[in-house]
Structure 1
Amino acid sequence: MKILRYILFPIVPIYYLVTWLRNKLYDLGIKKSVSYNFPVICVGNLSVGGTGKTPMIEYLINFLKEDFKVATLSRGYKRKTKGFQWANEKSTAESIGDEPFQFYNKYERDILVAVDVDRQNGIKRIRGIENPPQVILLDDAFQHRKVKAGFNIVLTTYANPYFKDMVLPTGNLREPRSGIKRADIIIVTKCPEVLSESNKATILNSMAPKPYQHVFFSSIAYANTLISVHSTLKIEDLKTFTLVTGIANAKPLVDFLEAKQLDFEHLNFKDHHEFSQQDFDGLNKKELIVTTEKDFMRLKQFESLQHKLFYLPITVKINDKSKINKLIKKFVKHS
């Protein structure tokens, strides 16, 4: 795969020019964006996958849901339905996508969850209901320029920050680095739990944020208890197991489990992998399966796996939680 990316390097200038020109047309107002007079918060990135958007959306849900009526709007990547869809008791990962299905399963009593590739139409449908939500969270819509979110939170990983990357197909960037100027908040995700001030300063110097931008650093916090459909299991009680991942970057989870000196094999599938009957037959032979919450949403459909299928919850730890919360609440209250 890496060799192919280098072979495709001549395409990089073409991709760069096309995406740069598209953004410039929106910046100049030649291509039109729709703004809103109510709070719309976008969580996105410059690169393809693996920056931690889902945990960040959940962070916002947990922070906002006590004071505001919240809705999430996603495209519903790889779902087998079309158009606008509300999440409901009949929804599955196949009908609305794995991340929205995860949001619905965790927060169905607290928020509304919807999917639509056309974010303008999605927002219109969400706001068109009786007693509409006060805040809409857009999941992975930073490049969806037809909608102009009032507040943009852009994520970039500590291991592969956007300022050291290049555009597709050789790099991972969906658009040129200059797109970062549209961000209100930049979060460096998946940092080491202890990050020195000098290391932060080096990153900030490379990033050179604009005066209106705020930069934060976050790390992943893993729970001590794994969860299944029917029971829970302490990490210290884990013995031999199979780790199953279908996410963009499983390395932080693998590193965490290895640091615990646990004995496991790792079946690493591509991001948003659609588990087939053949996959199920192989997994059904395993004694104990540990997976991510996103993969759990897809795998739990196989009833015979449910008694041995567990996921490890994660949360986001942000270095200056009070400051970012104040910035978010200020935007919501004054929109």
Structure 2
Amino acid sequence: MNFIRKILFPFSILYGGIVWFRNFLFDCGVLKSYSFELPVIAVGNLSVGGTGKSPQIEYLIRLLTNSYTVATLSRGYKRQSEGFILADAHSNAITLGDEPFQFYSKFPNIQVAVDANRKNGIEQLLKGTVKPDVILLDDAFQHRKVKAGFYILLTAYGDLYADDYMLPTGNLRESRNGAKRANIVVVTKCPPDLSMADRQAIARKLKLKSNQQLYFSYIHYDDFVFAGHQQEDVTAVKAMDKVLVAGIAKPEPFFNHLQKEGDVMMTFADHHHFSEKDIKAITEKARGNKIITTEKDYVRLKGRLPEEQLFYLPIKSAFISDSNNFDKTILNYVGQSTGNRSVY
């Protein structure tokens, strides 16, 4: 924690008090939360960004789409549009935001919507000609106006909410006490070989309630980088001279996975809108070599950099253990809530 953040601690107390009071008003019913008859799963975190929400949402999409009509609803962070938008063939990262457009591009059989007002977004989805069986709320743990039926809280390994402080001293958007709303807590971005002893130590630190489930996941990197219908083996790409471009919250694992000595690494802010100046700088740094970026950045850079140079590295969320139990818990919740599917 740097010195500036330390001296801002009194503001953390003030901010924490305001957030606590807001949550208290929702908890006691002074501020109203709205619930819906269909299953609604909220995925989020207590901190600001970098916990792997998009891979977790995609995991749920893959789990559910074979049996249910799935919709995702996001705020559409940094999109240049307002109100409710349902993704269609005319949508792009500018109108939807990068992560929702990524969902739409990868999963054409689901509905992808954005609306800062999640209550209105759900109502609009339910008015559509194709009504979803289940709605996945992206980054909605603090959106108390909608009461989801199921909450998945993410916290990153090495940056646990139990070790953090409220903004602006730390990175927490609400106090650690907010974790009590979660049905499941997933410690993300773990080393794939995280030992049972280390998992037990984290469990003791998080102090979950007896009715809450705890899982540990890691980021699984694809064996290939992609550009349209082209693909290159990651092992070969690692050995090449290249430029690595990332506009995500915590790009270090991405860089560490692909870089070799002498590679150029260009870091931008999370959800960065690349300007013409940025594009020129990337092109000049590349000098004709490959440009490898994240999947989220690719949807904003595609069409603006040479197609033969620009590639992205897909990632997935994978569980260290107990994935079957996680899947069963989610499928049971959705099956029981819809009332029209058999459950385990």
Same fold (TM over 0.5): yes
For 1:301, give the aligned amino acid: G
Q: 1:301 to 1:3 in 2, by over 3 A?
A: farther
| Superposed counterparts of 1:198-217, under 5 Å | 198-217=197-216
Q: Tell me the distance in 2 between the aligned counterparts of 1:210 and 1:128.
A: 37
Q: Which amino acid aligns with 1:192?
A: P
Map of 1:174 onto structure 2: 173
Partner of 2:314: 313
Match in the other structure for 1:143 = 142
Question: Equivalents in 1 of 2:258, 2:274: separation in Å?
Answer: 23
Aligned to 2:25: 25
**Corresponding residue SS for 1:306:** coil
Per the TM alignment, residue 253 of structure 1 is displaced from its structure 2 partner at its CA by: 1.4
| Residue from 292, 311, 333 that aligns with 1:331 | 333
1:9 alignment partner AA: F
CA distance in 1, matches of 2:263, 2:90: 35
1:132-151: CA deviation from partner (whole Å, max 9, x where unpaired):
01000000011000000000
Corresponding residue number in structure 1 for 2:255: 254
Q: Could you tell me which residue of structure 2 aligns to residue 63 of structure 1? A: 63
Corresponding residue number in structure 2 for 1:165: 164
**In structure 1, the residue corresponding to 2:216 is in which secondary structure?**
strand
| Partners of 1:229 and 1:269 in 2: CA distance | 23
Q: Cα gap change, 1:3/1:301 in structure 2, threshold over 3 Å: closer, same or farther?
A: farther
Give the unaligned 5+ runs of structure 2: 338-344
Aligned partner letter, 1:169: P
2:4 matched to 1:9? Answer: no
* Unmatched 5+ stretches in structure 1: none
Give the residue type in structure 1 aligned to 2:310.
Answer: L
Q: What SS is found at the alignment partner of 1:220? A: strand
CA shift at 1:235, angstroms?
1.2
**TM-score normalised by L of structure 1:** 0.96
Paired residue type of 2:35? S
- Report the equivalent of 2:88: 88
Query: CA 1:235/1:241 → structure 2, altered by over 3 Å: closer, same or farther?
Result: same
Q: In 2, distance between residues paired with 1:97 and 1:175?
A: 24
Q: Which SS does the other structure have where 1:307 is aligned?
A: coil
**Match of 1:52, as an amino acid?**
G
What amino acid is the match of 1:121? N
Q: Deviations over 1:113-158 (max 9, x none)?
A: 0000000000000011123010000000110000000000000001
What is the alpha-carbon distance in structure 1 between the residues aligned to residue 104 and residue 211 of structure 2?
Answer: 34
Partner residue in 1 for 2:45: 45
The secondary structure found in structure 1 opposite 2:220 is strand
Q: Does the alignment pair 1:274 with 2:273?
A: yes
How far, CA to CA, are the matches of 2:96 and 2:11 in structure 1? 33
Distance across 1 between alignment mates of 2:35 and 2:200: 35
- CA-CA distance at 1:307 after TM superposition: 1.6
2:308 maps to amino acid: H
Shift of residue 5, structure 1, vs aligned partner: 2.3
Distance 1:312 1:8 in 2: 38
Asked whether the 8 Å contact 1:230–1:307 carries over to 2, the reply is no
Residue 130 of structure 2 aligns to a residue whose secondary structure is coil
Structure 1 residues 263 and 223: alpha-carbon distance in aligned structure 2, compared to 1, 3 A threshold: farther
Q: Note the 1:221-236 alignment, pairs <5 A.
A: 221-236=220-235
Aligned to 1:299: 301
8 Å contact kept, 1:229–1:307: no
State the one-letter code of the partner of 1:278.
Answer: K
**Matched residue SS, 1:71:** strand
Task: Please list the CA deviations of residues 12-55 of structure 1 after superposition, one character each: whole Å capped at 9, or x if unmatched.
Answer: 10001000111111111111100111100000000000000000
Normalising by structure 2, report the TM-score. 0.94
Partner SS, residue 305 of structure 1: coil
Q: Percent identity?
A: 47
**Would the aligned equivalents of 1:115 and 1:122 in 2 still touch at CA under 8 Å?**
yes
Structure 2: how far apart are the matches of 1:233 and 1:131? Answer: 38
Aligned to 1:265: 264
**In the alignment, what sits opposite 2:341?**
none
Where 2:307 maps in the other structure, the secondary structure is: helix
Counterpart secondary structure, 1:180: helix
The alignment partner of 1:301 has SS state of: coil
